[in-house]
Structures are given as C-alpha cells and as structure tokens.
Amino acid sequence: MEKRGILLVVSGFSGAGKGTLMKELLHRYDNYALSVSATTRKPREGEVEGREYFFKTREAFEQMIAGDELIEYACYVGNYYGTPRAYVEQQLAGGRDVVLEIEIQGARKVKERFPDTVLLFVSPPDAQELKKRLAHRGTESPEVIESRLARAVEEAEGIEDYDYFVINDDLDTCVEHVHRIVECERSRVSRAKERIYDIREELKVFSK
C-alpha cells in the first residue's frame, strides 16, 4: 500500500510571498500537490479559474458548505475561502504531500480535524517589507491594502498555534528550508507506525 502523504498548511500575512514560495516548492520537488481553494473573491488580473482559485458566487459557495464539500472554510476581509475536500483526500491517499495555502482560522480548523497536519507560518523579515510588498503587487486598492495590514496585526497574535515559523527573505533559502521541514516530519515515529511494526515482525526470527 502507498504511504499516506503529509498535509502541510502554509499561512502568512497577505504579501508575505507564500504564493511564490509554494510555486517554487512545487516546481522543484514532485512529492507535493497544491490544493486549489474555492472563493467568492473576484479574480485578480491574470488569475485563471481552476488554477489560482475556483471562483464562486456566494450562493454556490454556500451550497458547497451545505453539501459538506469543504474540509474547512473561513471569511477573510469580506469574502469566503474554502478547501475542497475530494482533491485533498485523493492526493493524500495516493501518497502525495498536500499543501493548503490558507489563513489562520482555516489552519486551526484543519489541525483540529486532522491533528497530524503540519502548520507552517511564513513571515516577511519585517513589517515595513510587508507593506512594501503589498503596495508593489499593485493589484489591490489602498483600502484593501489597509484592511489586509490590519488583518496581519490580528494574525500575528495566532502564530503560536503553528508548528513552524519561517522567514521569507531569500526565496531560494526559504524553499529549501520548507522542504527540509517536510522531510523531517516524514521521519516522525508517529508517522512510521507501519514500518516500525514490520521491522519488529521481521526481527522476531532472531529472538531466542
């Protein structure tokens, strides 16, 4: 039987560079599968249906909630965001490590539901850098940027709920750092129960 993959939740302030980081991680290593979320937010320029998000109306999103089609969902700066269940379960069962790039309320719900999830928080080196990155992205109005920065203040209070805290200063270093974390997690005794059982059984032939 294929070994079950690791569920990795990546959160971080809006503008922390999570998107670029995840793209690079998936580009370098083939053990990862990125979950595509559903949202009621309008597409940004260049975003493609089914690649960045599944863009939904409020009604369609609420139907997904009612049909229990989401592992978790949350409201973020006035819009719904949620993780479709089927893809995640399918990929984990096939042995891929699944990455959810979601905000903090969703991260907490996933951890509650699946306690062996790895929660990783990505931060820019400092607050000024965060503001600069958000402004340079040029896709949001000044009001939305302000709401996102205000949200960052709240999110910073929840970082202790995470397992790992990673600074995204240099992209290359950060990608390697995240990958090493996942590789180390794979060696946890709690994830290797079947292998441990097997080796114990095999060793029994040597017992006197």
Say how many residues make up the chain: 208
If binding is defined by CB under 6 A, does position 124 make contact with ligand 5GP? no
If binding is defined by CB under 6 A, does position 106 make contact with ligand 5GP? yes
- CB nearer to ligand 5GP: pick between 73 and 175: 73
Spell 31-44 as b/e; 16+ CB within 10 A means b.
Answer: ebbbbbbbbbbeee
Q: Strands, E, within 42-144: which ranges? A: 53-55, 70-76, 79-84, 97-101, 118-123
Candidates 26-34, 78-86, 121-129, 198-206; binding stretch for ligand 5GP (CB under 6 A)? 78-86
- CB nearer to ligand 5GP: pick between 14 and 123: 14
Contact with ligand 5GP (CB under 6 A) among 5, 9, 14, 168 = 14
Distance between start and end Cα atoms, the chain? 31
If binding is defined by CB under 6 A, does position 41 make contact with ligand 5GP? yes
Contact with ligand 5GP (CB under 6 A) among 21, 34, 56, 76 = 76
Contact with ligand 5GP (CB under 6 A) among 24, 97, 101, 185 = 101
- CB nearer to ligand 5GP: pick between 74 and 175: 74
Which of these, 92, 77, 79, lies nearest to 35 by C-alpha position?
92
Nearest-approach distance from CB 105 to ligand 5GP, in angstroms: 6
Longest dimension (CA), the chain: 75
If binding is defined by CB under 6 A, does position 74 make contact with ligand 5GP? yes
How many binding residues for ligand 5GP (CB under 6 A)? 14
Residue 159 carries which DSSP code? G
- CB nearer to ligand 5GP: pick between 48 and 189: 48
> CA 96 to CA 147: how far, in whole Å?
35
Q: What is the 3-state secondary structure (H, E, C) of 6-33?
A: CEEEEEECCCCCHHHHHHHHHHHCCCEE
Task: Give contact residues for ligand 5GP (rule: CB under 6 A).
Answer: 14, 37, 41, 72, 74, 76, 81-83, 101-103, 105-106
